[in-house]
Amino acid sequence: MAIEELPLAVEHAAEAPPPQRRERGLWRDAFRQTFRKRSAVVGAAILSLLLFMALFAPLLAPYGEREVLIESEGLQPRTEPCIHVSVNWIPDVPVLSTVESFLESNGFSCSPSEPQHLMGLDGNARDVFSRVLYGARVSLGASVAAVSFAVVVGTAIGLISGFIGGRVDNGMMRVMDVLLAFPALLLAIAIVTARGPGLFNAVLAVSVVTIPVYARVIRSRVLSVREQDFVSADRALGVSGPRILSHRVLPNSLTPLVVVATLGIATTVLELAALSFVGLGGDPDTAEWGRMLALERNQLFTSPHLVFYPGVMIMLNVLAFNLIGDGLRDALDPRLNK
């Protein structure tokens, strides 16, 4: 989620009352609520597609992720897409024939004698379509990893800070403020420059930069839950601090966290792509969408397909998580009218 939305997220997290019903009931309800929204359904559909691509890439990809085709097919780098359209089994449906003529007029279609490359070849004569498929693994994996790390660390900080309160709370929140004062991309660039380029460092950098977001949200939740009766009751009974944290506070903090985290994945994908774009993403051979785009950005006018396809994939990735996150937020936020 974007930094600008942080205050509102924090406010909602603070004000949302703890659930009255049992956990499972709430989640099932939320699930149903979310997918009543069409946009969330669309988001889920896109995400499923991306997951499918990521999981089955080796099966779906006609070529290897790093397979260079200079020798094997005698093709030059940055060859145009070649789509076999005049295949007999395509029925004579009007839509399909329009597609066919569109492809033909733009020079994308080619005869079956030439090897098919749906999205053309990249600067090293590798099949872009295959790399796009494999890229789903990296994009999804990296962004989820980055957010997971940030969530774990941020939650820990937020829990401790909110529960203990006092000076510890003050101190930790000041540190979070300092982190938040720097534009995310800048901080990420600095971290990657300090540690060296590479996917791992990029993920780490983006992670660190978003920790304050989760810390703030969790802390806000903790502060409000802390005052609740059932927590006072627990304390009176002598339940230990950590136990209260894990059994009372944490479960009640999950709802805003899930929303923020889902939206956070969207931002992370963008940040990672931006880092690759400025050249700090690492190995040029890994099929990472941001990297693929960055390598070819000077070819926007000569080979737009090399920029277009990775760009669209990034967009779809971000869009999917945004839509789902929005849906979750609407469903889990008790203030909105049903």
Partner 1 sequence: MRQRRFRWVSAFVALGLVAAACGGDDDSAEEEGEEAPAETGDFEALAFDESTQCGTEGYAGNLAGIEAVDAQTVTFTLCNPDVAFPSKVAFSALGIFSEEQLEEAATGAPVDAPIGTGPYQLEAWERGSQIVLTANEDYWGDAAAIPTVVFRWSEESAQRLVELQSGDVDGIDNVGTEDFETVLGDSNLQLIEREPLNVFYLGFNVDKPPFDNEQLRQAIGYAVDKDRLVENFYPEGSIAADQFLPPGIPQYQDGAESFTYDPQRAQELLAEAGYPDGVDLGVLSYRATVRGYLPQPPQVASDIRDQLAQVGITVALDEQEEGAFIDNANTGALSFYMLGWGADYPDATNFWDFHFGAGASPQFGTGFDDMHEVLSEAGSTVDEDQRAELYAQANELLLQHAQAIPVAYGGSAVAFNAAVEEAHASPLSNERFAVMSEEGADQLVWMQNGEPSGLYCADETDGEALRVCEQINESLLGYEVGGTEVEPALAEEWESNDDLTEWTFTLREGVTFHDGSTFDANDVVASYRAQWDAADPRHVGREGLFTYFEALMGGFLNPPPAPAG
Partner 2 sequence: MLRFIARRLVSSIPVLFGILLATFVIGRLIPGDPCQAALQERATPERCEEFNSEYGFDDPIFVQFGSYVGDVFRGDLGNSVQERQSVTDLLIDRLPVTLQLAVAALVIAVVVGVPLGVLAGSRHNSKTDVATIVGANLGVSIPVFVLALILQYVFALQLDDTPLGLPASGQLTAGVIPEPFYEVWGIGQNSLFEFIANIDLLNAVLIWRWDIFIDALQHLILPAVALATIPMAIIARMTRSSLLDVLGLDYVRTARAKGLRERVVITRHALRNSLLPVVTVIGLSLGTLVGGAILTETIFNLTGVGKTLFDAITGRDYFVVQGFTLVVAFGFVVVNLITDIVYTFLDPKVRVS
Binding residues for partner 2 (CB under 8 A): 2-8, 11, 38-39, 174-175, 177-179, 181-186, 189-191, 193-194, 196, 266, 270, 273-274, 277-279, 290, 293, 297, 300-301, 304, 307, 311, 314-316, 318-319, 322-323, 326, 335-337
Dist. CA 24–CA 314, nearest whole Å: 34
Partner whose footprint covers residue 15, from partner 2, partner 1, none (CB < 5 to 8 Å by kind): none
Q: How many CA atoms lie within 13 A of 216 on its CB side?
A: 24
297 contributes a contact to partner 1 by CB under 8 A: yes
Of the pair 189, 295, the CB lying nearest partner 2 is at 189
Cα 276-318-285 angle, rounded to 5 deg:
30
Stretch that binds partner 1, among 1-9, 143-151, 221-229, 291-299 (CB under 8 A): 291-299
241 contributes a contact to partner 1 by CB under 8 A: no
299 contributes a contact to partner 1 by CB under 8 A: yes
* First CA to last CA distance, the chain: 23
Q: At its nearest, how many Å lie between partner 1 and the CB of residue 183?
A: 20
Tokens 């994996």 found at: 141
Residue 127, SS3 per DSSP: strand
Tokens 């999950």 found at: 254
Q: At its nearest, how many Å lie between partner 2 and the CB of residue 330?
A: 9
Per CB under 8 A, the list member of 18, 64, 77, 165 interacting with partner 1 is 77
Dist. CA 62–CA 64, nearest whole Å: 7
125 contributes a contact to partner 1 by CB under 8 A: yes
Q: At its nearest, how many Å lie between partner 2 and the CB of residue 314?
A: 6
CA-wise closest residue to 10 among 241, 212, 175, 268: 212
Report the amino acid identity of residue 24: R
For the segment 37-76, give every residue that binds partner 1 (CB under 8 A): 66, 68, 70, 76
Dist. CA 288–CA 200, nearest whole Å: 13
298 contributes a contact to partner 1 by CB under 8 A: yes
Q: At its nearest, how many Å lie between partner 1 and the CB of residue 186?
A: 16
Q: At its nearest, how many Å lie between partner 1 and the CB of residue 298?
A: 4
334 contributes a contact to partner 1 by CB under 8 A: no
Dist. CA 75–CA 14, nearest whole Å: 60
**C-beta atoms surrounding 62 within 10 Å:** 13
Partner whose footprint covers residue 323, from partner 1, partner 2, none (CB < 5 to 8 Å by kind): partner 2
Partner whose footprint covers residue 70, from partner 2, partner 1, none (CB < 5 to 8 Å by kind): partner 1
Tokens 């950590």 found at: 242
Q: Are 123 and 68 in contact (CB under 8 A)?
A: no
